[in-house]
Amino acid sequence: MSQNNNIPKVFSIEKLFENGDYIIPVYQRNYAWGEKEINQLIDDIYDYCEENEKNNDKKNYYIGTLIVFKRDKAFEVIDGQQRLTTLFILMSVLNKLNESFRLKFESRERAEKTLQEIRRQEFKFDNYLKEELNINILNAYVLIQKRFKKLNEKFIDYFLDKVQILRIEVPEDTDLNHYFEIMNNRGEQLEKHEILKSRMLAKLKDDKQATSMFNTIWEACTNMERYVQYGFSHEQRKNIFGNNWNEFQKKSFDDLLNQSDQIQMSENASTIAELIGINAKKMSSPELVKDDDNPERFNAVINFSNFLLHVLRIQTNEDIPLDDKRLLETFNGKYESMEDVKCFGFNLLKMKFLFDNYIIKREYTAKGDEWSLKQLIKNDHPSKNNSAYYKNRFNDERQNKNILILLSMFHVSAPTLIYKHWLNAALKYLFENSEIQDSCYISYLEKIAKTYMKDRFLSISPTDYYEIIYCHNGESKNSAIDWNNLNQGTDVENYIFNYLDYLLWKNENFNQFKENFSFSFRSSVEHYYPQKTMKNIDKLDGPILNSFGNLCLVTSSENSRLSNFTPKAKKEFYSKQSNNSIKQRIMMESENWTEYEIKKHQSQMIELLTNELL
């Protein structure tokens, strides 16, 4: 192999699949990307495409790297196989693959067969029912096919031509086993938020006390899974968060600095070079948890980089993107003075405290996992000095549950990080109100939820999220409602189903359907009366099939498995499930499911929506 072959090469997506076949070796894990990762990939590309169109630019979007090893006439994929497989599925949906191109999953017959059927557009649910196809690849195909129905030709052209990937070919004498060992054990590369931190600290370099304070705040906030109080020593917690560790009454960064004589702050590194050194030390000498906090107890709804963007948007009131891949460019030029950085540091700490106390987390205990809305409180029992416990954020259990249900409704409707505008709205409300009362918080969240429904999902002319939150303070513009948005079959937005489930949960007339209900990641719209019927079942007209009365929201795997089943068979299956949507539970109460029951159910649901929205 000549040396030139090892020079990294940049390909457009279209050209990538014209420059060699690829093999996914058996030592690689199977395809595992789900809805979150696929939507994130498509959304990132779409945002860059829109930005280019808006600014009349012709910039490329770099999607990452693909590391390969030349094996005979094909390339063995060492790193990047999840992305490559997803791109293959995207190209299959667009029918843009070169006829001679091959992507092979080595020694995985089911994955190989699924790729072949997808490529030939011969995707059959019956084969899946016989367990002949790969469910993850299958679901990815269905999801991508649905997404691309809503994307225009400009996006497709941009995707094929302007989305770039870097292919790196390792030398032919590379010891692949050793290479993998290095990849799996190497220290983490410096993350963007660490670079941002270094840039901000540079603005404070002449004030050692402020530098130490800012660094301590940043490190305390970095772990989104852990309550921010645990980022400080016991004495620091008392000074910042009060005797019970559950208050935040400081007014400014300088207010924190005034107590710095009492608070011994962190003196961690502040330069990029030092940060890289710290990362290496962390890999070899992990720090022990010194208190009784379990860092794996909670799972947050966003990551730290994305959280930084929420803080920035609320502090500046600017319509900035919530895309953490653009973190550094978004912050560029925003914080040029010492005072700017100090202000951001204070707001970061305040909003992390608010996030921990008033935004849901997924909580994992010995009994299982569930949504939680809790606060951290110091344990005053003498035998448990300097420990803490968790309790509901609001004393009224019903109100606490109401807020939890509302927030989880928003979250499961928008699992992709860059579209968590609901979270931005909630944080903005919390940040701007010194006292958070349960009833007022519920009223605001319900107002946002209602406005989303009217002005975004049912509106003839949808309003931008930023405009709803920042220009109208969540109030509806009384946009004209297009009820036909409910009758679009599988294209009906998930939020519509989830918002309706919230209204049903609140409505006492439907109490019998609410037992053990909680919002989960149901992301697939199902025709309860199937589109493709068996021999002994009449086929309904398209408008009836695709009407809201015949639709329910289920998980992707359930939809794939039961798509062509009769309503009776579906009812038998779903009745054994513990967490169906409330709308679906109501549908399953009907002994029969014909055109009459569909129209009756639709009328009942629209009446409920009308009473709430109009």
Distance CA 28, CA 37 (A): 18
Decide: 504 and 582 in contact? Cβ < 8 Å. yes
Give the up-direction half-sphere exposure of residue 190: CA atoms within 13 A in the CB hemisphere.
Answer: 16
Q: How far apart are the first and last CA of the chain?
A: 71
Reading the block at residue 167, the tokens are 């292919």
Decide: 165 and 10 in contact? Cβ < 8 Å. yes
Contacts of 194-202 spanning 24+ positions with Cβ under 8 A: 194/272, 194/275, 195/272, 195/328, 196/308, 196/327, 196/328, 196/331, 197/275, 198/270, 198/271, 198/272, 198/275, 199/331, 200/335, 200/341, 200/344, 200/345, 201/270, 201/341, 202/270
Exposure b/e, 63-102, CB count within 10 A at least 16 = b: beebbbbbeeebbbbbbbbbbbbbbbbbbbbbeebeeebb
Residues 6+ apart with CB under 8 A from 573: 562, 565
pLDDT at 280: 42
The residues pairing with 11 across neighbouring beta strands, listed in sequence order, are: 165
pLDDT at 1: 38
The residues pairing with 374 across neighbouring beta strands, listed in sequence order, are: 392
Reading the block at residue 26, the tokens are 């058996």
Which residues of the chain carry a pLDDT beneath 70?
1-6, 26-27, 107, 122-132, 175-190, 259-296, 382-385, 533-537, 559-561, 563
Distance CA 378, CA 244 (A): 5
- Specify the 3-state DSSP secondary structure of 528: coil
pLDDT at 55: 81
By DSSP bridging, strand 551-554 and strand 524-527 are: antiparallel
What type of residue is 368? G
Angle formed at CA 81 by CA 79 and CA 87, multiple of 5 degrees: 130
DSSP 434-459: SS--HHHHHHHHHHHHHHHIIIIISB
| CA-closest candidate to residue 448, choices 502, 489, 385, 369 | 502
Distance CA 485, CA 494 (A): 12
| CA-closest candidate to residue 232, choices 247, 210, 217 | 217
Matching residue, tokens 């770039």: 164
pLDDT tens, residue by residue, 203-225: 988 888 898 889 889 989 999 99
For residue 481, give the DSSP letter: B
pLDDT at 262: 47
Matching residue, tokens 């975004």: 456
Q: H-helix or E-strand containing 524?
A: strand 524-527
The side-by-side arrangement of strands in the sheet containing 361-365 is 298-299, 361-365, 368-372
Distance CA 260, CA 217 (A): 12
Distance CA 125, CA 132 (A): 10
Reading the block at residue 352, the tokens are 């992390």
Matching residue, tokens 């569930």: 370
Per-residue HEC secondary structure of 219-272 comes to HHHHCCCCCHHHHCCHHHHHHHHCCCCCCCCCCCHHHHHCCCCCCCCCCCCCCH
Distance CA 601, CA 367 (A): 36
pLDDT > 90 in the chain, percent: 49
Distance CA 401, CA 414 (A): 20
Decide: 260 and 267 in contact? Cβ < 8 Å. no
Distance CA 353, CA 498 (A): 28
Contacts of 474-478 spanning 24+ positions with Cβ under 8 A: 474/425, 474/444, 474/447, 474/448, 475/447, 475/451, 476/450, 476/451, 478/454
The Cα diameter of the chain in Å comes to: 81
Cα–Cα distances in Å, from 484 out to 138, 188, 392, 459, 491? 30, 50, 41, 10, 12
Residues 6+ apart with CB under 8 A from 225: 295, 296, 297, 298, 299, 300, 361
pLDDT at 600: 97
pLDDT at 291: 44
pLDDT at 376: 95
